[in-house]
Structure 1
Amino acid sequence: MGLPFETRAPRRGVLTPGLALPPGVERHPVPGGGSRAVEIRAGDEITVTDREGGQLAEIVAFTPSGAGDAGLIGAVASGAPEGLLATLRDSVSGRGVARALAAAGFDLGAARAVRRFGEGSRPGDSAQFTAGGDGLLVVAAPGGPMAPDAQDAPTELLLYIRRADRRNFKGAHPPPDPLADPLTDRNIRPGEAFVYEVPKGGFIQILDVQGRECSDFQAFSARSLDAGTPREIDPTATRTMTGTIYPRPGLAAKYWTVDLEPLVEIVQDTCGRHDTFGLACTSRYYDDMGYPGHVNCTDNINAGLDPYGVRPRGGWPAINFFFNTLIDADHGIVTEEPWSRPGDYVLLRAMTDLVCVSTACPDDIDPANGWNPTDIQLRTYGANEDFRRSIGWRKRPEDDVAHTQETGFHASFARHTRDFVEYNGYWLPNGFPGEGTLGEYWACREKVAIMDLSPLRKFEVTGPDAEALMQYCVTRNMEKLAVGQVVYTAVCSENGGMIDDGTVFRMSDHNFRWIGGCDGSGAFLREQAERLGLDAHVRSSTDQLCNVALQGRHSRAILSQVFWTAPDRPTVDELGWFRFTVARIGDFQGVPVVISRTGYTGELGYEVFCHPKDAGAVFDAIWEAGQPYGLKPLGLAALDILRIESGLAFAGHEFDDRTDPFEAGIGFTVPLKSKTCDFSGRAALEERKAHPQRRLVGLEIDATTVPAHGDCVRIGRQQVGVVTSATRSPILSKTIALARIDMPHAEIGAEVEVGQLDGHQKRLAARIVPFPHFDPTKARAKGDYGT
């Protein structure tokens, strides 16, 4: 399922998604529920694409005089732009468009909209227009907040413009708009260095305009320069203080001097791959490579800093943003092309008055800049700006960068902790210092705990062929799934490797909700619908549904006090294991939610789904009702202990795209005998089951040392497996692990050793045992706590 203008990079046989567009083509994403305004010129070719299908597009074209005129793009209007007007009120992107329209004096209220797509449109459907004159084009992907039991999530549109006159072309990747009103906005060409001053609290944005371009950065304490004792960022001191190769947004985000003074803090980073080991490029390097006299960053830095009395150096230690280096197994420094893509940037905050220097690296003789040095954009902003911490991520390589988001429940949990870590594109609580990881753990095992699981990916699967699509794409038998029921299952590729695991909710006869761990599983469903020619639609709804899990023996008692259900829906007390209900807080007029009896802890538990706008009210109602029962918040660190004890799989640990469900310990999700129809990966799974190579097992380890994910498992010198997850179990008072072992050595009771260091110099004695290690009959998850 291709999209218009997806192209190969110029280099033969090398694909670089997201880096190349045809000459003269610009790409402008329109977020679901939002809008975008772009200037157009006579003769421009306009393409609007419905990326996921089923999304209405409202398009308004304005003449330079401010009049709405659909004829400007050769179309016929079909009514007032009601959906577009809603986006201007309710979305961040829309409010930006509203400000632009107001500043230009355009009257959207008098305009008429061109409508395309909507119900029934397929993923990748496109509409083409040609601009008959100059003007402003506004495109909206309207859609309001999705109720938790509805399936009408607004999704993204893509706007492409092929410029008729290349003089109007802003470049395949023009510099993105500033984050705020910049104090400095300087384009740095390859082979240039720019020196600038930033006061304490100010922000510095170093932006890779075209992608794959490195930028050396160095910062001095202005106070140290005034004193004649220059102190700049020291990479070794920084690695020592942070415990990381380079800082990232979060708790270890600062760059330090040798006097252990923090100079700058990373606030946002959309690339996440930089260098702190090598020098800025030097004349010596180019001389030794046979390019004497080549312009280089070190000489440029020396020249720029000379007015400040900084002694020139033969090689400048610098933070080389976007330079891709790593340390290999033999301790060598390996370099490759940068990971950065067009528009990637790093945003820093000055922690004292600074003198800074930034370069655009001129290296064109190796992969450091993708063989093609390009521009760096340098912007600074005032200390009064409010920039949130974020780590950039992309669903697919060709997608625009998305920033780490706060879930709907973020503010509620932030009342109890500041320890948040990035997980799957969101900030999630890692721990709650007031309780401690063990306190959170015991609250879940003995009483009740609440955690944020909103980063789980949600997809609405609807249409006459929705069941057929799900039946093909997941391993469980969807024909046996009743309305109101939930089932845990796997999604496999044709080779039997797991794409994802998750749960399927049957919302109605022809409607399903898939909740998995990654965006790739939703993309896979959409691709299979297209390939098989099925009348089924797959729409992303992650941003429309956030969820908390309430886990522990008192979870049912708490929720039954908070939520009301209609007579035709089961109450919380009536809800069976792996069933869901639609409920409201308090009564018929209350906030709507979906409650499922599911969880990831091995305890009696439930998940509560709501729209992000209602998350605060949902959390407060549960929290208040839970206090008499000892309700505590639960972070990711404690959750990891709980799920390992309960033998629950985690992506990237127990499974990946080369691991089948049998090897991941969830073979029960593949009913090859009772599900007789074909499904994705069936033939490979039949072969793998008949001739198994590896098995997931439990380990008990005779040491308090906890192995790491990836540690080898050996018998003598021979490696027979690998540790997938491990922890120290509080309730068992043992070190336990899950491990994937070669079949000839996977017998229960077998003695093995976990290798550390090089796998031979340190060994942990262990034996293979059944798993789950704790509550193997799952009695507690079924609500049976005995007396």
Structure 2
Amino acid sequence: MGKKTPLFEVYAESGAKTIDFGGWDLPVQFSGIKEEHEAVRTRAGIFDVSHMGEIEVTGPETLEFLQYVMTNDVKKVKDGRCQYTAVCYETGGTVDDLVWYKRSDESALLVVNAANEAKDFEWLLKHSKDFNVQVSNVSSHYAQIALQGPLANQIAQRLSETDLKEIRFFSFKEGVTFANASVLISRTGYTGEDGFEIYCNPNDASHIWKTCLSEGEEEGIQPCGLGARDTLRFEATLPLYGQELSSNISPVEAGIGFAVKTDVDSRFIGKDVLARQKEDGPLRKSVGIEMIDKGIPRHGYAVSHQGMDIGEVTSGTQSPTLGKNIGLALIDQKYASEGTEVEVQIRKKTVRAKVVQTPFYKKA
């Protein structure tokens, strides 16, 4: 049996269908992926993301250490703000992509991918030896609930006396009373919509989950599983570790070069390789593809150009919002310009597709 989040018991009441995800028993869907996806795009949805890992870095050299292990420019982040970044190997391949929360110059909370939690913690510990910092895995201290969608703000606001409008995109506040519990709340998410991620004591998770669902009833809030989380992040072209990013795929290749600041006066791990990729252009590039012929591109399917192998699909689905069969593919950069026709190998059939602009979806 996999690990269970503090909300596992609540799923049964909501009729969730669970699957094993990176060693966790998590809901893949409640009412249905398309229905949940549409709820988040048009109204509001709530996700249990308690499986995510939390790692704390504290001490006088917190910022110097983070600048050394992360690709983004740590120094420009103000207290109370979050930043998206990557942690890389010397080769430029990705250890993980993550969001970190700056509490102060001497305290940071890193939110990492569930499947990478142990590996990330080891990596940070190993590289922290020359810095005056303490690295702690505090994942068990937190449950995490994501409330996402255009109506998320009005539902959340009724559950808190804090003016949530003051929490701007990629900002957070701690010690906020929400549904009568003390939480850290940030205006972040993985859906391409407005919304919040709520970090709470695991003992408060069930109460917060149920309160959000009953409070958002008239707005048509839906409990959502990993299936909709994946189609939503995919349409917004947000990378998934293990697909768009991996130890063999750099952030520059994956299209998140904006989180790699090679012009900053700092020596972060992997900088030389990533600086070269940014300067010369990477040999491979992540692109959006849209199917011309029938068929859905799936992770791992080969992509070719006039019969020559040029890469593979990293993610793909029938987009619930656009109603099109689309994918993300990591291909030879010579064929990465918009409009280029490529072929996708779907089982034994070669199917035509074309390179299109991303993100596939942007909220109005």
Q: Provide the residue aligned with 2:109 in structure 1.
A: 513
Q: Provide the residue aligned with 2:54 in structure 1.
A: 458
Q: Provide the residue aligned with 1:668 in structure 2.
A: 258
Secondary structure in 2 matching 1:415: helix
CA distance in 2: counterparts of 1:438 and 1:637, whole angstroms: 9
CA distance in 1: counterparts of 2:285 and 2:231, whole angstroms: 21
Deviation at 1:564, TM superposition (A): 3.0
State whether residues 724 and 738 of structure 1, in contact with CA within 8 Å, keep that contact through their aligned partners in structure 2.
yes
Larger radius of gyration: 1
State whether residues 85 and 97 of structure 2, in contact with CA within 8 Å, keep that contact through their aligned partners in structure 1.
yes
State whether residues 555 and 605 of structure 1, in contact with CA within 8 Å, keep that contact through their aligned partners in structure 2.
yes
User: What is the identity, as a one-letter code, of the residue corresponding to 2:266?
Assistant: C
CA distance in 1: counterparts of 2:234 and 2:254, whole angstroms: 13
CA distance in 1: counterparts of 2:121 and 2:358, whole angstroms: 30
Unaligned runs of 5+ in 2: none
State whether residues 497 and 658 of structure 1, in contact with CA within 8 Å, keep that contact through their aligned partners in structure 2.
yes
State whether residues 423 and 455 of structure 1, in contact with CA within 8 Å, keep that contact through their aligned partners in structure 2.
no
State whether residues 28 and 227 of structure 2, in contact with CA within 8 Å, keep that contact through their aligned partners in structure 1.
yes
CA distance in 2: counterparts of 1:548 and 1:525, whole angstroms: 25
Are the structure 2 counterparts of residues 456 and 419 from structure 1 closer, same or farther at C-alpha, using a change threshold of 3 Å?
same
Q: 2:341 aligns with which of 740, 751, 761?
A: 751
Pair 1:528-2:127 in alignment: yes
State whether residues 452 and 548 of structure 1, in contact with CA within 8 Å, keep that contact through their aligned partners in structure 2.
yes
Pair 1:577-2:169 in alignment: yes
Q: Deviations over 1:686-717 (max 9, x none)?
A: 12223320010000102442122111111122
CA distance in 1: counterparts of 2:164 and 2:271, whole angstroms: 37
Deviation at 1:414, TM superposition (A): 2.5
Q: 1:425 aligns with which of 23, 29, 32?
A: 23
What are the equivalent positions in structure 2 for 1:171-570 lying under 5 Å apart? 390=1, 404-432=2-30, 435-517=31-113, 518-519=116-117, 520-530=119-129, 533-565=130-162
Unaligned runs of 5+ in 1: 1-389, 391-403, 566-570
CA distance in 1: counterparts of 2:206 and 2:54, whole angstroms: 20
State whether residues 295 and 346 of structure 2, in contact with CA within 8 Å, keep that contact through their aligned partners in structure 1.
no
* Greater fraction helix: 2
Are the structure 2 counterparts of residues 418 and 447 from structure 1 closer, same or farther at C-alpha, using a change threshold of 3 Å?
closer
CA distance in 2: counterparts of 1:542 and 1:425, whole angstroms: 15
CA distance in 2: counterparts of 1:477 and 1:700, whole angstroms: 34
Q: Of the two structures, which has the highest relative contact order with CA contacts closer than 8 Å and spacing of 6 or more?
A: 2
CA distance in 1: counterparts of 2:178 and 2:324, whole angstroms: 42
Q: Deviations over 1:599-653 (max 9, x none)?
A: 1110111101101111112112212211111100111112211111110101111
- Please give the root-mean-square deviation of Cα atoms over the aligned residues, in Å: 1.3
CA distance in 2: counterparts of 1:442 and 1:523, whole angstroms: 39
State whether residues 697 and 740 of structure 1, in contact with CA within 8 Å, keep that contact through their aligned partners in structure 2.
yes
User: What is the identity, as a one-letter code, of the residue corresponding to 2:10?
Assistant: S
State whether residues 417 and 429 of structure 1, in contact with CA within 8 Å, keep that contact through their aligned partners in structure 2.
no
State whether residues 469 and 525 of structure 1, in contact with CA within 8 Å, keep that contact through their aligned partners in structure 2.
no
Deviation at 1:419, TM superposition (A): 1.0
Secondary structure in 1 matching 2:10: helix
Pair 1:765-2:352 in alignment: yes
User: What is the identity, as a one-letter code, of the residue corresponding to 2:352?
Assistant: A
TM-score (norm 2): 0.96
Deviation at 1:755, TM superposition (A): 1.2
Q: Provide the residue aligned with 2:272 in structure 1.
A: 683
Q: Provide the residue aligned with 1:604 in structure 2.
A: 194
Q: 2:296 aligns with which of 690, 697, 706?
A: 706
CA distance in 2: counterparts of 1:445 and 1:418, whole angstroms: 20
User: What is the identity, as a one-letter code, of the residue corresponding to 1:525?
Assistant: L
Pair 1:774-2:364 in alignment: no
CA distance in 2: counterparts of 1:501 and 1:615, whole angstroms: 25
User: What is the identity, as a one-letter code, of the residue corresponding to 1:584?
Assistant: T
Q: Provide the residue aligned with 2:243 in structure 1.
A: 653
What are the equivalent positions in structure 2 for 1:15-34 lying under 5 Å apart? none
User: What is the identity, as a one-letter code, of the residue corresponding to 1:449?
Assistant: G
Secondary structure in 2 matching 1:467: helix
Q: How many residues align?
A: 359
Secondary structure in 2 matching 1:627: coil
What are the equivalent positions in structure 2 for 1:26-45 lying under 5 Å apart? none
User: What is the identity, as a one-letter code, of the residue corresponding to 2:244?
Assistant: E
- Percent identity between matched residues is 33
Deviation at 1:504, TM superposition (A): 0.6
Q: Provide the residue aligned with 1:622 in structure 2.
A: 212
State whether residues 475 and 679 of structure 1, in contact with CA within 8 Å, keep that contact through their aligned partners in structure 2.
yes
CA distance in 1: counterparts of 2:283 and 2:68, whole angstroms: 25
User: What is the identity, as a one-letter code, of the residue corresponding to 1:739?
Assistant: A
Q: Deviations over 1:757-776 (max 9, x none)?
A: 3xxx411110001111111x
CA distance in 1: counterparts of 2:12 and 2:90, whole angstroms: 43
User: What is the identity, as a one-letter code, of the residue corresponding to 1:424?
Assistant: G
Secondary structure in 1 matching 2:165: coil
User: What is the identity, as a one-letter code, of the residue corresponding to 1:768?
Assistant: V
CA distance in 2: counterparts of 1:635 and 1:418, whole angstroms: 8
User: What is the identity, as a one-letter code, of the residue corresponding to 1:453?
Assistant: V
State whether residues 461 and 538 of structure 1, in contact with CA within 8 Å, keep that contact through their aligned partners in structure 2.
yes
Secondary structure in 2 matching 1:553: coil
Deviation at 1:450, TM superposition (A): 0.4
State whether residues 290 and 325 of structure 2, in contact with CA within 8 Å, keep that contact through their aligned partners in structure 1.
yes
Which runs of at least 4 in structure 1 moved beyond 6 Å after TM superposition? Answer: none
CA distance in 1: counterparts of 2:143 and 2:330, whole angstroms: 33
State whether residues 580 and 596 of structure 1, in contact with CA within 8 Å, keep that contact through their aligned partners in structure 2.
yes
CA distance in 2: counterparts of 1:704 and 1:419, whole angstroms: 29
Are the structure 2 counterparts of residues 563 and 411 from structure 1 closer, same or farther at C-alpha, using a change threshold of 3 Å?
farther
User: What is the identity, as a one-letter code, of the residue corresponding to 1:447?
Assistant: R
Q: Provide the residue aligned with 2:229 in structure 1.
A: 639
CA distance in 2: counterparts of 1:710 and 1:690, whole angstroms: 28
State whether residues 47 and 146 of structure 2, in contact with CA within 8 Å, keep that contact through their aligned partners in structure 1.
yes
Q: Provide the residue aligned with 1:327 in structure 2.
A: none
CA distance in 2: counterparts of 1:437 and 1:428, whole angstroms: 14
CA distance in 1: counterparts of 2:195 and 2:147, whole angstroms: 6
TM-score (norm 1): 0.45
What are the equivalent positions in structure 2 for 1:55-94 lying under 5 Å apart? none
CA distance in 2: counterparts of 1:464 and 1:414, whole angstroms: 46
User: What is the identity, as a one-letter code, of the residue corresponding to 2:273?
Assistant: A
User: What is the identity, as a one-letter code, of the residue corresponding to 1:615?
Assistant: A
User: What is the identity, as a one-letter code, of the residue corresponding to 2:133?
Assistant: A
CA distance in 2: counterparts of 1:444 and 1:684, whole angstroms: 38
State whether residues 703 and 735 of structure 1, in contact with CA within 8 Å, keep that contact through their aligned partners in structure 2.
no
State whether residues 298 and 327 of structure 2, in contact with CA within 8 Å, keep that contact through their aligned partners in structure 1.
no
Secondary structure in 2 matching 1:469: helix
CA distance in 2: counterparts of 1:617 and 1:584, whole angstroms: 13
